[in-house]
Amino acid sequence: MEQDTVRNTAGKVGEMADKASTAAQSGVQDKLDQGKAMLQDARAAAGDAVNRATAVARDMSTAGTQAAAQAGEAMQGVARQVGTQASQAATTLYEQGTSAGTYVTRYTAEQPWTALLIAAAVGYGLAYLVHRP
């Protein structure tokens, strides 16, 4: 958009230069003075366009920096949440393992023969799987 403004301004400068040379060739002093005034306006417009382009580039740089900072903050927040959830999952898993161990210990104490038969069946099944051709 700013490039179009610069191009348009440059086009205007070219048109005004053509008008100024035509006026000089025809010898009309008024046309020459108008051309000079228009040229000064075009130069001012070109300067304004450059200043606006510089300001836009500065704003875009600032916006990019802010977006990167926000993305970094968001990633840190997500990492914290994942860490918290992993910690909670580990705690829950530990508690469930402890509960299962307590249950197996209690069941083994109450039903030793049944527990022995179950352990033998599990051992036989694992041995069968390991030694299968």
Residue 25 has a pLDDT of: 56
pLDDT tens track for 55-101? 887 778 787 788 788 888 888 888 889 889 999 999 999 999 999 88
pLDDT at position 119 over 60: yes
- pLDDT above 90 covers a percentage of the chain that reads 14
Q: What is the pLDDT of residue 91?
A: 92
Asked if residue 101 is part of any domain, the answer here is: no
Domain count, the chain: 1
Question: Which range among 40-44, 85-89, 95-99, 102-106 shows the weakest confidence by mean pLDDT?
Answer: 40-44
- Is there a domain that residue 54 lies in? yes
Residue 125 lies in a domain: no
Question: Is 99 a member of any domain?
Answer: no
Residue ranges making up the domain that contains 50: 2-93
Q: Would residue 28 count as lying in a domain?
A: yes
Q: Does 82 fall in a domain?
A: yes
pTM value is 0.42
Does residue 130 lie in a domain region? no
Residue 31 has pLDDT above 80, yes or no: no
Paired tokens of 109: 């104490």
Which pair of structure tokens corresponds to residue 43?
């130069």
Q: Has residue 29 got a pLDDT over 60?
A: no
Residue 106: inside a domain: no
CA distance 68 to 60: 12
pLDDT band at 17 (very low <50, low <70, confident <90, very high): low
Mean per-residue pLDDT for 18-30?
55
Measured CA to CA, the distance from residue 40 to residue 49 in angstroms comes to 14
Residue whose structure tokens are 């069946």? 121
